[in-house]
Chain A
């Protein structure tokens, strides 16, 4: 069965710090790995990583996928208080469904 493990489960940093969030996975037939950000309500899409797209960057956020070692990381540089959220990693294997990890709760203090 497809599985996603995120670490750490929670993280507290100061504004300006750089953080790295981890996502390891087990899958039978890999299709994609996705990162979502969840603030107070519904998760919003950040990145999608596939076999043909293993690095993504948007502003201060970037993500890479290591298909050999079965993990992905999400980096946030120069953190701001607005980055405080739960970051969710999701895996799509051979079927259409997405399996999520437990998430990393990031708190950025001023």
Chain B
């Protein structure tokens, strides 16, 4: 049981380049989300999805796109990277419903934009 798998673990980009951070989960979780973590800022929600075909914006969505074509995958796209997007990115998934959403996190992807 792999849980939540993120790739790549590390990436260096130049300003203006595009890339996709991949996230896959094998727990059949309906809910998936992307957070970024910067020093002293905690985890800030970028985008989230409550099921295939459904996505919504979080606190800091600008500069990022997402899609959810399957239950398992939730890729995060940077169309034109900027130095302000240098951060550690975490994908997380969880079951939704009447109970609380206890998230399972991936190991993180460290992105540097030069």
Which residues of A does B touch, CB under 8 Å? 6, 9, 31-32, 34, 41-45, 48, 50, 88, 90, 92, 96-103
Contacts and interface: CB of A to CB of B under 8 A. Distances in A.
For chain A, what secondary structure do more than half of its interface residues adopt (helix, strand, loop), or is it mixed? strand
Contacts of B96: 96
A92 B90 contact: no
A103 B43 CA distance: 8
Given A31-B100, A32-B100, A48-B100, A99 B45 contact: yes
Interface of B: 31, 33, 35, 40-45, 48, 50, 56, 58-59, 90, 92, 94, 96, 99-108
A50 B99 CA distance: 9
19 contacts: A6-B42, A34-B100, A43-B43, A45-B102, A45-B103, A45-B104, A88-B43, A90-B103, A96-B96, A97-B48, A97-B101, A98-B45, A98-B103, A99-B45, A99-B59, A100-B35, A100-B45, A101-B42, A102-B42
Contact of B106 (A42, A48, A97, A100): A42
A97 B107 contact: no
Given A31-B100, A32-B100, A100-B35, A42 B107 contact: yes
Among B50, B102, B107, B108, find the residue whose CB has the most chain A CB atoms closer than 10 A: B102
Pairs of residues from A and B, 9 with the lowest C-beta to C-beta distance, nearest first: A32-B100, A42-B105, A102-B42, A100-B43, A96-B96, A103-B42, A100-B42, A96-B31, A97-B48
